[in-house]
């Protein structure tokens, strides 16, 4: 449980880097969810909650992209390196 708690906070710091409002909101939400369920004793419920937390960490790490308003009608996206993938063009007839 503690390992997942720390992993969520590390992911939060990476995903919301330089965004103090998002960092604080994510910190509060993570702490609140773990605090609300700290007295849970059912092994089944604990495993379910751990699965949800693990899924949230994966979604944050793989799907969230920061965006910054530069003008009233423009937004600049700031993707992290681990989100970028090589663009492989589609081929009707693969060579291999």
pLDDT in tens, 11-53: 999 999 988 999 999 999 999 999 999 998 999 999 999 999 9
Q: Give the pTM.
A: 0.76
Residue count of the chain, please give it: 96
* Cα–Cα–Cα angle for 23, 24, 29, rounded to 5 degrees: 100
Say whether 11 sits in a helix, a strand or coil: helix
State the Cα–Cα distance between residues 93 and 96, nearest whole angstrom.
9
Range list of H helices, the chain? 2-15, 20-36, 43-63
């Amino acid at each position: 449980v503690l390992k997942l708690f720390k992993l969520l906070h590390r992911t939060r710091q990476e995903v919301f880097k330089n965004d103090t409002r998002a960092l604080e909101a994510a910190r509060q939400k993570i702490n609140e969810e773990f605090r609300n369920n700290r007295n849970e004793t059912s092994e089944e419920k604990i495993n379910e909650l751990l699965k949800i937390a693990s899924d949230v960490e994966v979604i944050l790490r793989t799907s969230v992209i920061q965006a910054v308003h530069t003008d009233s009608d423009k937004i600049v996206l700031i993707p992290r390196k681990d989100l970028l993938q090589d663009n492989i063009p589609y081929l009707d007839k693969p060579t291999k």
